[in-house]
Amino acid sequence: MKVLVTGGAGFIGSHVADELLAAGHQVVVLDNLHTGKKTNLPAGATFHQADLRDQPRLAEIFAAEQPDAISHQAALASVRDSMSDPATYAQVNVVGTLHLLELARAYGVKKIVFASTGGATYGEGYSEDGSKLPFTEESRAQPKDNYGANKLSCEFHLDLYRQNYGLEYVALRYPNVYGPRQDSKGEAGVVAIFAGAMLHNLPTKITGDGRQIRDFCYVNDIARANRLALESDASGIINVGTGVPTDINRVHAVLSIATGYTQAPVHVARPAGEVLATYLDSTKARQVLGWQAEVTLEDGMARTVAWLRGSTRL
């Protein structure tokens, strides 16, 4: 099928584009290159430089390309910036998504797969008795920032378009995704930040005691989940995490081995509001998509370091 991949010049979107092309689909990328790079684009994809806020330009692209499906990866994705500039975040993340939904309806698009977030929609998972974790799709959504609220709004809009117009959707709630092409300036990119610093033998900083728990999933696993969601009859919200709780100290230790780094991390104050613990139960993904994460932390981090060393296109 012909798939419009928004954000396809970005970190995750470019891997989704690779995965879809390898499976024989046609790929059209739409990206404004805000954080995306032309060098991330696969050779086989058609590229349109366009902004999600520019509805007339999006309409031109839909008229020209007539996609069968949409993989919507484009977004502004910094939790911190979403608090200092909430209106821009809502314009890109929510209004931009509504532009796509309206055009999907007008052009008879059959399915949209949306890049949502587990980390930012479920909020704090820490509790004295550990009863909140891992988060399932039934766990209460309690975003702690505008970015998480944007993603949750989009999920509601997607559901409304399915009910009213029959547009099928899957909202994949991602954990912390890492791998080649992740920008070390990104907030979610602790792996890229540590690995980049370690390869230059620079100091590394850990906030608090480093026992914060996250769910780190390798980007190729996430790209495969996106392809399966597009190709299957699955519908609704689906978590796609490893289900393995990993603390930041372990990430530091595994990357130190992969890079040959010997310095101890510098511990700095935890920023206010930083979530202590989150990881995802992906039983539903296994049942409805036949998906589970396959790449181990050690393997994924070794592949990421190899890419950073050589920067060859993986």
Ligand X SMILES: NC(=O)c1ccc[n+]([C@@H]2O[C@H](COP(=O)([O-])OP(=O)(O)OC[C@H]3O[C@@H](n4cnc5c(N)ncnc54)[C@H](O)[C@@H]3O)[C@@H](O)[C@H]2O)c1
150/163 Cα distance (integer angstroms): 20
Q: Does 92 bind ligand X (CB under 6 A)?
A: yes
Do 215 and 280 form a contact (C-beta atoms < 8 A)? yes
Query: Where does this chain touch ligand X (CB under 6 A) — which range of 20-28, 75-83, 126-134, 300-308?
Result: 75-83
C-alpha of 124 from chain center: 19
Task: Pick the binder of ligand X from 12, 225, 234, 258 (CB under 6 A).
Answer: 12
* Residue in the structure block whose two tokens are 């979403």: 82
Catalytic residue among 89, 122, 147, 174: 147
- 261 in catalytic set: no
* Residue in the structure block whose two tokens are 């052009």: 107
Nearer to ligand X, 115 or 258 (CB): 115
Q: Which of 143, 153, 169, 1 is nearest to 75 (CA)?
A: 153
Footprint of ligand X on residues 164-193 (CB under 6 A)? 174, 176-177, 188
| Count of residues touching ligand X (by CB under 6 A) | 29
Q: Does 77 bind ligand X (CB under 6 A)?
A: yes
306/83 Cα distance (integer angstroms): 35
Q: Which of 49, 25, 41, 92 is nearest to 228 (CA)?
A: 25
258/252 Cα distance (integer angstroms): 10
Q: Does 10 bind ligand X (CB under 6 A)?
A: yes
Q: Which of 16, 279, 224 is nearest to 29 (CA)?
A: 16
Query: Where does this chain touch ligand X (CB under 6 A) — which range of 3-11, 121-129, 154-162, 289-297?
Result: 3-11
Q: Which two tokens stand for residue 252?
A: 């530091």
Do 212 and 277 form a contact (C-beta atoms < 8 A)? yes
Site string for ligand X, 199-238 (x = CB under 6 A): ----------------------------------------
Q: Does 36 bind ligand X (CB under 6 A)?
A: yes
Closest approach of ligand X to the CB of residue 264, in Å: 26
Query: Where does this chain touch ligand X (CB under 6 A) — which range of 51-59, 81-89, 233-241, 259-267?
Result: 51-59
Contact residues toward ligand X (CB under 6 A) are: 7, 9-13, 31-36, 51-53, 73-77, 92, 96, 115, 117, 119, 174, 176-177, 188
Residues annotated as part of the active site: 147
